[in-house]
Amino acid sequence: MISDFHTLSEKISQLAELAQALRSENAELRVKSTALAAENAELSQRMQQAHARVAALLEKIPAPAQDDEQDEAVA
């Protein structure tokens, strides 16, 4: 009977250690998740800015005149 209590006590200790390890891992994962969410937001903002810059550059490029292309084809 004493050995049963000893076994039960060991299992309870192992369970407590596992629970603590899982709490620690959960806390670490929350920190990583928060950091990754912040990084994702920053990268998304940078992508939007790059898209806006490319769109602005594309607007500055003059469209080829169709008359010029036809004249070159005839010559």
Instruction: Name residue, tokens 């920190």.
Output: 31
Instruction: For 15-67, write each residue's pLDDT tens digit.
Output: 999 999 999 999 999 999 999 999 999 999 999 999 999 999 999 999 888 76
At residue 25's C-alpha, the angle toward residues 19 and 29, to 5°, is: 140
What pLDDT was estimated at residue 66?
A: 79
Tokens matching residue 54? 């490319």
Whole-prediction pTM: 0.62
Tokens matching residue 20? 């603590």
Q: How far apart are CA 28 and CA 22, in angstroms?
A: 10
Positive or negative torsion for Cα 19, 24, 27, 32: negative
